Amino acid sequence: MDLAHEVGVNGAGMIFGFAFLFKVVFAMLLILYIAYSFFLALRVRIIADTVKTPWNNFLKRLAFFHLYAVIVVGSLALFFIIIA
């Protein structure tokens, strides 16, 4: 017996199906989008602190509201993908 047969990754004993791969890929995309949103909020905050305009506070609040919305909706979507 070889290791691949014992783990169950060859032939009919393959445990990784299309649904599992879809869940992994979609979960990675959601996690990357949350990270992108976090870095976007940090970038907006840095720019708002550097350049003085009357819209600074509004832009900071809007960026962090977007971040919180992405985290909440992304977490819900991730939860629904995992239980599906």
**What ranges do the domains of the chain cover?**
17-83
For 6-41, write each residue's pLDDT tens digit: 555 555 555 667 888 888 899 999 999 999 999 999
Determine the 3-state secondary structure of 2 from DSSP.
Answer: coil
Confidence of residue 5 (pLDDT cuts 50, 70, 90): low
Q: Is the pTM of this model over 0.75?
A: no
> What tokens does 83 get?
């239980």
Residues 6+ apart with CB under 8 A from 67: 37, 38, 40, 41
Percent of the chain with pLDDT over 90: 39
